[in-house]
Chain A
Amino acid sequence: MMNNVDSFLEINELEIGYKYRRKSNIVLSKINLTTRRGEFICLLGKNGSGKSTFLRTLAGMQKELNGSILLNRQPLSNFGNREKAKKIAVVLTERLQIGAMRGYDIVEFGRYPHTGWVGKLTAADHAIVKQCLEDVGAIHLANREINQLSDGERQRLIIARALAQEPELMLLDEPSSFLDAPAKIELAILLRDLAYKRNITVIAATHDLDISLRTSDTIWLITENHEIENGSPEDLIANNSIAKAFSGDKTKFNNSKRTFEPDEKNLNKAYVEGKGQPFELALSALERSGWQIVLSPNEAQMRISISSNGQWRVMADNFEKTGENFAELASAAQKLKNHAL
C-alpha cells in the first residue's frame, strides 16, 4: 500500500528534558523508536514519568536535548510552523477557557494551517470540518455553545479539531482524564478506529493501564530507569515489563486479569466453594476484606460455601455463621480477620 511504511516516525538516541541556565535536567534518555503510518500507540507511564515532556518534544513545542526525531525521514526542526501544523496535531491537557463560541467554531480552528490570512474557509474546508465532526460522533454539538457542554463532549470537539488539521501524526496528552469509565473506553476505541481509517499515527499518553492494554497496537512504556521500552501489549506483559514499571510496595500486577491488585503481605487464606456469579461475587467480597483466596481447603483458615441463590456459610475454628447477602459476608470475613491478627 505505502512505501517506507516502517519509518514514518523515527526517533534516534533521543534525550529530552529541560534546559535552565546551561544546566539540563534530563527527563528521559536513550529513546529509540520507529512507527509506521496508521498505528495506535499508547505511551504508558506513571504520573510524573515524563509523558507530557516526551509528547511536547515530539510536537516540536519543546527542543530535544540530544538525538533526532525524523518525520518522513526529515528532521522535525526542518519543518516550518505551518508545515508542522499540517503534519502534527495535538490534544493537550489544558482546558479551553473560551465562551461565545459554538462546537463548529472549535473544529474550524483545525483548518487554520490550511487557510489564508483572514482564515476564511472554502466549501472544501467546511466539508472537512463536517466530516471530522461526524467521525468523532459530535455532529449534534455543532451548534451548541461550548460552555454548556460536558467535558466528554468538549473533548470530542477538540479531537475533531485535531483531525481537521488533516495530520499524519496525532499526539494526545491524557485525553481521557476528565472522562468517566465508559467514555474512556469509547474514546480509546474511537482513537484506534481513526488511526486505522484515516491512516494517522496516533500516540496517546495515559496512565490508564487497563484500557491501553486492551486497545493499542503498540505500547511505549516508560521504565523505571527513565527509558522507553516498546512492544505489543502481550509481549510487555509476558516479559514482566509492565509489572516492573508500575508495581508499588502494596500492589502487584495480575497477568491474566491485566490489572493491578492489592498485594498485602501475610494475608489470611480463605477457600471458597460454589459456582457461577454468586461464587465470583463472594471472591470479590473476600478480597476486599483482606483475604487471599486459595485453592485447597487444607491451607485455608476459613472455608466458605455459597449456593446458587446467594446463601453462604462461613466455617472456621470455633466459628460458624450463615447469611444471605454479600455485605454480611464481608463483615463476617473482616471480623474473623481481626480476630486472627
Chain B
Amino acid sequence: MQESTPRLKPTGKRQVTLFFALLIGVVVLAILGLTLGSVNIPLNEIWKISTGYSTTNTSWQTIVIDIRVPRTFTALIAGAAIGLAGLQMQTLFRNPLADPFVLGISSGASLGVALIVLTVGSAGAVFGAGLGLFENVSLAIAAIIGSTIVLFIVLLIAERVRSAVTILIVGLMVGYLVSAIVMLLVAWSEPQQLSRFVVWGFGSFRSVTWDELRILAPVSLLGFLIAGSIVKPLNALLLGEDYAKSLGINIRALRIITMAGSSLLAGIVTAFCGPIAFIGVATPHIARSLFKTSDHRILVPAVLLSGAIIAMIAELVAQLPGNNSVLPLNAVTSLLGAPVVVIVLIRSRLGAFTG
C-alpha cells in the first residue's frame, strides 16, 4: 500500500514551531518569575541559589527558595490546571464560555475551604502560617468535594436546558448561592479571619508554601494525566453526544471521568490559590486560535503550556507596579480575561462551538 494522503492534511510544521515557542515562553517566564520581585537580587546569585550552591546573603537565599521558587512553580502549575479544567468543561458542556470560575465550580471549592477553616477553628496556612499536613490535605479534599458537588448540580441542570447562555446563567446563580453560604460562614468567623478570607478570595500564587506545593503538584499531575487519557473520546464529543455514542464511546463513563478530572484540577487550585478568574475560559480559546484546531490531542498540551504562560504573566503584572504592594491576582486576570470572553461571544462563529 502506498503512502496515502498528500496535501489532504496539512503538515504539522506550524504546530511544532508553536509548541517550541510556547515552551521557550514558559522557560523565559519562569526565569522572570525567579528574578523579578521587590528585592533586587543579581541573576548569577539566583542561579547559584536555585542550583543548590550556598550564598553569602542568607536573606536572598530565603527569598529565592521560600518565595520565588514556590510562587513560580505554583503559577505555572495552577495556570495549566485551570486552563485544562476550562478546556474539559467547554467540551463537556459544549459551551464556549464554560470554565470553573464562570460556572461556580470555584465557589463550590470556596465553600469547602470556608467550612474547613471554620471547623478547624484557627486559620489554615492560607489564612496564617503553620498549618500542618493534615489540615492542608483536608483543605484540598474539602475544596475538591465542593467543586465536584457544584459541577454535578450544574451538569444535572445542563442535561435539561440546552441553551449555552441559560447554562451560564444557571452556573452564575449556583455560584451566587454557594457564595451566599460562604458569606454566612465568614460572617460568623472572627474579623481577622474575615480579612484573610477576603485576601484569599483575591487569588494569589505567592501565598503557597512548599508544603502546599507538595499536595498541589501531584494532584494537578493526576488531573493532567486524566485529561491526557481521554483526548480521543473528548474529540468525539465535539460531534455531539449522539454521534459520540454511535462511534462507540461510553458517554456516561466519559462524563464521570471528565467531571472528576476537571473538578480535581479546579478544586486543588482553588484550595491553595483562591478562586482564579477567567484563566480557565480564556486559555482554551487562545490555544484554539493559535493552533487553529479543536483536536484535543493538540489542545491538551497547548492549553497546559499557554495556561502556565498566562498565569505567570498575570502574576508578574500583579507585582510590577510600585514594587512593594501586590495587586489582587483576580483583578489582573479579569482585566486580561474579560475582554477575551466578550470577543468570543461576538465572534462565536469562529470559535470551537457554533450554533
Contacts and interface: CB of A to CB of B under 8 A. Distances in A.
Contacts, number: 118
A98 B5 contact: no
Contacts of A98: 238-239, 294, 352-354
A117 B294 contact: no
Interface residues of A, number: 43
Interface in A76-113: 80-86, 88-90, 92, 94-101, 104-105, 109-110, 112-113
A126 interface: yes
B38 interface: no
A123 interface: yes
A126 B294 contact: no
A95 B232 contact: no
A55 to B, nearest CB: 11
A97 B353 contact: yes
Contacts of B236: 109, 112
A127 interface: yes
Contacts of B9: 104, 126, 142
A124 B1 contact: yes
Contact of B231 (A90, A96, A119, A124): A119
Contacts of A127: 1, 4-5
A109 B239 contact: yes
**Majority-rule SS of B interface residues:** loop
Contacts of B245: 61, 81
Given A112-B232, A118-B231, A123-B1, A99 B246 contact: no
B259 to A, nearest CB: 20
A118 B295 CA distance: 11
B297 to A, nearest CB: 6
A112 B248 CA distance: 8
B3 interface: yes
Contacts of B231: 118-119
B350 A85 contact: no
B235 interface: yes
A81 B5 contact: no
Nearest to B230: A117
A23 B292 CA distance: 48
Contact of B8 (A85, A94, A142): A142
- Which of A88, A101, A133 has most B Cβ within 10 Å? A101
B232 A123 contact: no
A61 B236 CA distance: 16
Contacts of B3: 123
Nearest to B246: A90
A147 interface: yes
A130 B5 contact: yes
B255 to A, nearest CB: 14
Interface string B284-328: 000011001111010000000000000000000000000000000
Interface string B213-256: 00000000000000001011001101110110111111000000
B205 to A, nearest CB: 30
Interface in A13-30: none
B8 A130 contact: yes
Contact of B240 (A96, A101, A126): A96
A24 to B, nearest CB: 22
Contacts of B14: none
Given A100-B288, A124-B1, A127-B4, A85 B352 contact: no
19 contacts: A61-B246, A82-B248, A85-B246, A98-B238, A98-B239, A99-B351, A105-B293, A105-B294, A105-B295, A109-B243, A109-B247, A110-B247, A119-B231, A119-B235, A124-B1, A130-B5, A133-B8, A143-B7, A147-B350
| 7 closest cross-chain pairs (CB), A and B | A85-B248, A97-B355, A119-B232, A82-B248, A127-B4, A126-B4, A81-B248
